[in-house]
Amino acid sequence: MRIKWFSLVRITGLVLVLTYHFFQTQFTGGFIGVDIFFTFSGFLITSLMVDEFARSDNFKLMAFYGRRFYRIVPPLFIAVLLVLPLTYLIDHDFVTDIGKQVAAALGFTTNYFEIATGGSYENKFIPHLFVHTWSLAVEMHFYILWGLIAWLVAKISRRLASGRRALTRFRWGLGLLTTAFAIESFVMMYFGAVGLKDFSPVYFSSLTHCFPFFVGGLIGVLSGIKAQGPIYRWTTAHCNPIIAGAVMLISFILLVALGDRMKFDALQTYQGGLLLATVLAGIMIYGARLLHDHTPNLKEPRWMTFLADVSYSVYLYHWPLYVIFSHMMVNWLAALLTTILSIILSALSYYVLEPVIAGKRAHVFGHTLTWRQLQLPVITAGVLLAVNTGVVVKNAPQLSTLEQNLWVSGIYQDIDKIGTTHEAVLAAVTPKKKQATPKGDQEKTPGVSIIGDSVTLGTRSYLGDHIANSNIDAEGDRTMNLAYKVMMNQQRSHTLRQYVVICIGTNALDDYEEQTMKIIHDLEPGHKLILMTPYNARADADWNSSKLAVLERRLPAKYKFITVADWGKIAAQHPEVFKGTDGVHFGGIRAGDILYAKVINQALQTAQKTPGKPA
């Protein structure tokens, strides 16, 4: 039994996800589309469980697992095989460690693989081609667990009663469990998000992000599909098409508004935002269910049914295709080509390949196709694609060029730190004649101390050769408060040089202004401070890194010992430096090294004409 208007729910989830991935800086909260999918899956699966028990007084676990397997696994295998040949169109770095990505995707463990490797849709380096399959992992974990629980509840319900009473016990059992599991999962996300800078662990985890399934499951218990619950029967008796349609429309508008406002890196997203999206999705589902019963003579448009049918496969294809195309062409064209090709491949998968793989007949434009007719071309193509997959996996690098660059730079930096520490120890134990020096007139160690993040680390070797008398301390994911600690440690050990260059900001937190002012106030007199503005090609004006750049540009007017090295402005004028990168790092691209060093050197020349920090 197909419920009309459920297609709108699935299409809403798909459009939100695609818009988020295509236009991440403009539509920052579209990731809630996944929560719509989760809620709908929980609703549909639990409703069908209730229907099966009502019909047969039983729930067959292995049959349930079999249906889920054929719906989820074949499209995923097909998508992986078809996507990998397209990786030849882009830089080899994009298949870095692809074997583990494929294994995690096909093994439905991508969510925990991404947590372990620090992956995210907002990855700072090369985005994983199959990071989006994290949601399939969570979904599969839900199916395995919830199917087993429903089977146990069905056995207990049959043992305690029979007929309608058994069905009532089955509903009550599932209802209480969905409520308990939903509350437990959300509470784990709520408290698990506290203190995190990167929220991927609570976003990807099956334990903390399974509550939408159980919220949907609770709605499924209350409404059902054929075996309607008493609450749903009362609701539909007091409803009409206008009310049902209005419920759907209002919830849709609110979901879009939420997608426009929510942010992945905001704490409130995990302490209520995703729950609100889930509740709105549940209301939209309930409204669609009511509208179905109140529009018996109205057919769902064919285009709507088609998009709903292929939505799962479109989700599978869109992310790797977009990653590939977005590094070959302008963004709007990449989004358009990704959408068109995803729909074509998804239609081929859903209407042709999946049915014949399951032993059914495929119906295409009025023609019936069977496995016997498609056997030779399908097997031949499958073998060729499987061989190609093996070749791609075998030849894939374990580290991207940028990661190799950062790794090597980190080793050289550690060596340099050992030398610097040795010099500081010798200086500390060597007796010196004490001389009275007026406060604020101390001469500082000549040279340049550069304190930076992963952008600086990526070009560290070049900077060391092209910025005279410089000492560089850089580290990935470094924020302004961590830069402050490095500066203060060097200051206490008397290794901080006269010119202090702070190249921090891409990872700016909400307290960026407070931490910047701490650096300014606690820097000892006599030093000259150079602040390098951050650059992120994806950043909007309301990003912390952008707001930090605005703050830094204002500071020289108030503090004469501060000079701005405006990397944010200069880098934006040279997009070629970031071609094929994440729009932040350029490690390994010589033109980027040259430009970065030039910006610092120009700022140093300007700083020579400014006074040191007064006492």
Cβ–Cβ under 8 Å, residues 437 and 129 = no
Instruction: Look at residue 439 in the predicted model and tell me its pLDDT.
Output: 43
pLDDT tier at 106, thresholds 50, 70, 90: very high
Instruction: Encode 112-126 in three state secondary structure.
Output: HHHHHHCCCCCCCCC
More confident residue, 540 or 604: 604
Output DSSP code: residue 598. Answer: H
Q: Is 171 exposed, middle or buried (0-12, 13-18, 19+ CB in 10 A)?
A: buried
HSE-CB at 391 with a 13 A cutoff on CA atoms is 11
Q: Which of 133-147, 280-294, 466-480 has the lowest mean pLDDT?
A: 466-480
Q: How far apart are CA 582 and CA 577, in angstroms?
A: 11
Q: If pLDDT is split at 50, 70 and 90, which confidence band does 440 have?
A: very low
Give pLDDT, residue 580.
Answer: 66
Kindly report, residue by residue over 162-184, the tens digit of the pLDDT. 778 899 999 999 999 999 999 99
Fill in the amino acid letter for 183: I
Supply the pLDDT for residue 418.
Answer: 63
Length of the chain, in residues: 615
CB count within 10 Å of CB 576 equals 10
For all residues of the chain together, what is the average pLDDT?
Answer: 88
Residue 441 clears pLDDT 60, i.e. is over it: no
Cβ atoms of 248 and 287 within 8 Å: the answer is yes
In DSSP notation, 189-202 reads HHHHTTT-SS-HHH
What pLDDT, on a 0 to 100 scale, did the predictor assign at position 196? Answer: 85
Both structure tokens of 468: 């005279």
Burial of 119 (0-12, 13-18, 19+ CB in 10 A): buried
Write out pLDDT tens, residues 563-600. 999 999 999 999 888 876 777 888 668 898 999 999 99
CB contact at 8 A, 182 and 218 = yes
Question: Does the pLDDT at position 123 exceed 60?
Answer: no
Tokens coding 284:
């939209």
Lowest mean per-residue pLDDT among 22-26, 233-237, 469-473, 499-503: 22-26
Query: Per-residue pLDDT for 246 more than 60?
Result: yes
Q: Give residue limits of the domains in the chain.
A: 6-395, 401-429+437-607
Per-residue pLDDT, averaged over 61-69, amounts to 94
pLDDT at 311: 95
Task: Tell me what pLDDT residue 419 has.
Answer: 57
Distance between CA atoms of 246 and 104, rounded to whole angstroms? 42
- pLDDT tens track for 363-406: 887 788 888 888 888 889 999 999 999 999 998 877 666 666 66
- Tell me: domain 401-429+437-607, CATH 3.40.50.1110, correct? yes
Q: Which residue has the higher pLDDT, 455 or 1?
A: 455
Q: How confident is the model at residue 438 (pLDDT cuts 50, 70, 90)?
A: very low
Q: Which two tokens stand for residue 440?
A: 């604020």
Q: Which token pair is 322?
A: 């977009």
The pLDDT tens digits for 334-371 are 999 999 999 999 999 999 998 888 888 888 877 888 88
Bridge partners, 363 (sequence order): 368
Distance CA 169, CA 161 (A): 8
> What one-character DSSP code corresponds to residue 89?
G
Pairing type for strands 362-364 and 367-369 reads antiparallel
Residue 563: which residues within 8 A CB-CB, separation 6 or more?
A: 528, 529, 530, 531, 556, 603, 606, 607, 610
Residue 260: band (very low, low, confident or very high) from pLDDT cuts 50, 70, 90: very high
Residue 122 pLDDT > 60: no
Alpha helices by DSSP H, 208-301? 211-223, 230-237, 241-261, 267-268, 274-294
Phi, psi of 532 (to 5 degrees): -95, 120
| CA-based nearest residue to 64, from 146, 7, 139, 158 | 146
> For residue range 126-152, what is the model confidence (pLDDT) as tens digits?
678 999 999 999 999 999 999 999 999
